[in-house]
Structure 1
Amino acid sequence: MWRLKSQNTTGLKGYRALGRKKTGEFNKTESAYQQFLEKEKQEGRILDYRFEELKLKIGEPACWYMPDFLVINADREIEFHEVKGAAAIFQDDAKVKIKAAAYRNSHFIFKVVFPDKKELSGWRIQEF
């Protein structure tokens, strides 16, 4: 669930999560994206996907990143998809984590996805 917060500590207006689901539980946006991935799998555009399958170490001593979805595309490449409810929610800390993960694991593909009614697929995808 999201709410509009009038000001955060940086003085910027934006959205903040009211709480995080337990590991392995979908929020509404992740659930919608899982349905999209299932359709992609049924139509042969991806081979498989897993939710919160693994954690990637991105820094010392103990900085970790857990992508929302591990996706195996039709070319058998491993992709990590991070699902956000809106571009406004994808803020600096999340950007730093995915960029660090992409830098440390350059042999994988990293994507952030947002719902977007203007896109044919219903999702806007940004690759790192």
Structure 2
Amino acid sequence: MRERNLLLARPGDVPRCDPATPLQRMQALGRLPKGIMNKTEEAYAAHLDAQRGLGLVLWFRFEGLKLRLADSTFYDTDFVVLAANGQLEIHEVKGFMTDDANVKLKVAASQYPFVFRLVRKAKGGGWDIREV
């Protein structure tokens, strides 16, 4: 069994696991249960809602599709977006891109007939949206 580093503030406190690598520490902060948006996703949902009000987006849904990439390998979409031109798009919202997420996004884009877009917060405000 793997040994864990436990940090205890005082006797009786609930122990917490100290993630070993920087990636694990970052993921420990950013993993939320299915169906719950992080702050960046919430901000992007508000952006999509404003786009819908302008008629540029007809419909969108958070975590609306789960795409099968291979046996026991799936890609969970962040946002499925129906653009005003009738095109169905997949928008992946990222603050930080891991290698695993990058590979899954590219494989999904090669297998499915949707437009895939990578969405990041732009420096100075707004959104940097690029087609994959």
Amino acid corresponding to residue 54 of structure 1 in structure 2: L
> Percent identity over the alignment?
41
Q: CA deviation at 1:45?
A: 0.6
TM-score (norm 2): 0.77
Q: Which residue of 2 aligns with 1:108?
A: 114
Q: Which residue of 2 aligns with 1:12?
A: none
> In angstroms, what is the RMSD of aligned CA positions?
2.2
* Unaligned segments of structure 2, at least 5 residues: 1-18
Query: Are residue 84 (structure 1) and residue 94 (structure 2) matched?
Result: yes
User: How many residue pairs align between the two structures?
Assistant: 113
Q: CA deviation at 1:8?
A: 4.2
Q: Which of structures 1 and 2 has the larger relative contact order (alpha carbons within 8 angstroms, sep 6+)?
A: 1
Distance 2:31 2:22 in 1: 18
Distance 1:33 1:78 in 2: 17
Q: CA deviation at 1:91?
A: 2.4
Instruction: Summarize the Cα distance change of 1:125–1:48 in structure 2 as closer, same or farther, 3 Å threshold.
Output: same
Q: CA deviation at 1:75?
A: 0.8
Q: Which residue of 2 aligns with 1:74?
A: 84
Distance 1:116 1:6 in 2: 30
* Aligned residues of 2:30 and 2:38 also touching (Cα < 8 A): no
Query: Are residue 48 (structure 1) and residue 72 (structure 2) matched?
Result: no
Amino acid corresponding to residue 129 of structure 2 in structure 1: I
Q: Secondary structure at the match of 2:64?
A: coil
* Unaligned segments of structure 1, at least 5 residues: 10-14
The structure 1 segments of at least 4 consecutive aligned residues displaced by more than 2 Å after TM superposition are 5-9
TM-score (norm 1): 0.80
